[in-house]
Structure 1
Amino acid sequence: MAFQPIVDCETGLPFAYEALVRGCGGEGAGAVLARVDADNRYAFDQQCRVAAIEGAVAAGILDTDAKLSINFLPNAVYSPVACIQLTLKTARATGFPAERLIFEFTENEEMADTDHIGEIVASYRKMGFATALDDFGAGYAGLGLLAKFQPDLIKLDMELVRDIDTSLPRRLIVESVARLCDKLGITLVAEGIETEAEFGALRDLGIRYLQGYLLARPQFKALPTIVMPHYLADEEDRVRLRA
């Protein structure tokens, strides 16, 4: 696993670390996921949960107050209660507080049975875990999925974040999603931030939790250092962003 922080930009501290799957030699997620199929999906999902918790604890996450966000495959969960047992056993064995777990899934994965996804979200919430919908705005379901059930967090797809400082349509879309999340009681995270201008535009829109290369690149088997940008838009920039 590699780890990348989701940063609380009001404090500069990690709100959570996302665990990102890597090959044994550091290969990217795409190369690893390409080898996942119906026959090994469940075993892979279980192994990733264990590796994420063990890796985060070994990297020092217990020295922080940060949560741990684990990506999971909804189609690998045949029963939320049964499939969580190994995760809970690993958390107990490593001393990681289970209430600091976030389970993250992406709408880029086609979800034929959205009722099943809703059951997972509801079951995890009853057990005290948070859930996050990743890549919001870029996948199969979008707002239709959100209408069926509401996760605890939504992560904006980086396509909506890219060049948001100069794109009026992107800014208006993100602003609308932020208002919607506020009314639904959902925490909004913007990911894929690569420039100080993007960072500044998102902060001007009131988005508190940000993730991206600008703040920290994923680090293999370690928790990377967060580097906060020294962004302060001048009055001309603020007028342009509101225009």
Structure 2
Amino acid sequence: MAFHPIIDIKQRAVWGYEALVRGEDGESADVVLGQVNDGNQYIFDQACRIKAIEMAGCLFPRDTDMRLSINLMPNAVYEPAACIAVSLEAARHVGFSSHRIMFELTETERISDPSRVSRILAEYKHHGFITAIDDFGAGHAGLSLLANFQPDIIKIDMELVRGLPASRARQAIVAGVMGMARELGLTVIAEGVETHAELAALLGLGIRLFQGYLFTKPAIARLPPFRLP
């Protein structure tokens, strides 16, 4: 796993780290995920979350409430209770509080049954995990998921961030997302931030949590140092 920080710009500190899958020789996530199919996605999903939690237990400072973010493959979750039990056991094994673990549901994966996904997320939330919709604004079911289930966090897709300072349309869309988030009591993270201009525009829209190459790139099997603008 590689780790990429989520920065709280107001506190000027790391809010959490997202765990990103990598190959044994450093291959990208796309290369690894290209080998995942209907026959092995359940085992793959379980192995990734166990590995991420175990590594976080070793790498994260003990005297912190830093969160660990794990990507959730909704179509790999056949029985939420079983998946949750595996995650809880891994967290107990390394002494990592489940309340510091966030599961991100990527909006770019096609979801055949949104109501089932809402039930899955609700079950995770019931057990104390943080829930998030990743890549919000880029995929298939973002608004319908929000209508049926409110996660704790939504992560604005990098395609909305890219070119934001010069695009009135993107600014209006992100402002609308922020308005929805305030009404629903959700936290917003902007991902894919690469320039100071993007950061300034997002700050002007009220966002305080950021992820992107402007701060640092992901690092394999370690927590990378980061830059604060």
Shorter-normalised TM range: over 0.9
Is the contact between residue 106 and residue 135 of structure 2 (CA under 8 Å) also seen in structure 1? yes
Cα offsets for 1:86-106 (capped at 9, x unmatched): 211111111111111100111
The 3-state SS of whatever aligns with 1:131 is: strand
Cα offsets for 1:153-198 (capped at 9, x unmatched): 1000101001211111111110111011011011111000000110
Aligned letter for 1:190?
A
Structure 2 unaligned spans of 5+ = none
Aligned letter for 2:75?
N
The 3-state SS of whatever aligns with 1:84 is: helix
Residue 63 of structure 1: how far off its partner (Å): 4.7
Measured in 1, the distance between the counterparts of 2:108 and 2:155 equals 12
2:186 match: 186
Measured in 2, the distance between the counterparts of 1:128 and 1:57 equals 18
Structure 1 unaligned spans of 5+ = 230-243
1:109 match: 109
Moved more, 54-63 or 88-97: 54-63
1:62 equivalent in alignment to 2:62: yes
State how 1:16-27 maps to structure 2 within 5 Å: 16-27=16-27
How has the CA–CA distance of structure 1 residues 160 and 9 changed in structure 2, closer, same or farther, with 3 Å as cutoff? same
Cα offsets for 1:200-231 (capped at 9, x unmatched): 111111101110000121111111112111xx
Cα offsets for 1:63-117 (capped at 9, x unmatched): 5321100111111111211111121111111111111110011111110011111
Residue 49 of structure 1: how far off its partner (Å): 0.5
Aligned residues between the structures: 229
State how 1:1-243 maps to structure 2 within 5 Å: 1-229=1-229
Cα offsets for 1:115-171 (capped at 9, x unmatched): 111111111111111111000111112322321211111000101001211111111
Is the contact between residue 61 and residue 223 of structure 1 (CA under 8 Å) also seen in structure 2? no
Is the contact between residue 164 and residue 198 of structure 1 (CA under 8 Å) also seen in structure 2? yes
The 3-state SS of whatever aligns with 1:182 is: helix
Aligned letter for 2:151?
P
Query: Over aligned residue pairs, what C-alpha RMSD do you find?
Result: 1.1
Aligned letter for 1:159?
E
Q: Give TM-score scaled by structure 2 length.
A: 0.97
Measured in 2, the distance between the counterparts of 1:62 and 1:22 equals 25
Q: Larger Rg: 1 or 2?
A: 1
The 3-state SS of whatever aligns with 1:189 is: strand
The 3-state SS of whatever aligns with 1:75 is: helix
Q: Give TM-score scaled by structure 1 length.
A: 0.91
Give every structure 1 segment of 4 or more consecutive aligned residues whose post-TM-superposition deviation is greater than 4 Å: none
Moved more, 20-29 or 52-61: 52-61
Measured in 1, the distance between the counterparts of 2:225 and 2:96 equals 21
Measured in 2, the distance between the counterparts of 1:106 and 1:6 equals 17
Aligned letter for 1:23?
G
Measured in 1, the distance between the counterparts of 2:64 and 2:42 equals 30
Residue 61 of structure 1: how far off its partner (Å): 4.3
Is the contact between residue 3 and residue 18 of structure 2 (CA under 8 Å) also seen in structure 1? yes
Is the contact between residue 56 and residue 222 of structure 1 (CA under 8 Å) also seen in structure 2? no
Is the contact between residue 56 and residue 221 of structure 1 (CA under 8 Å) also seen in structure 2? no
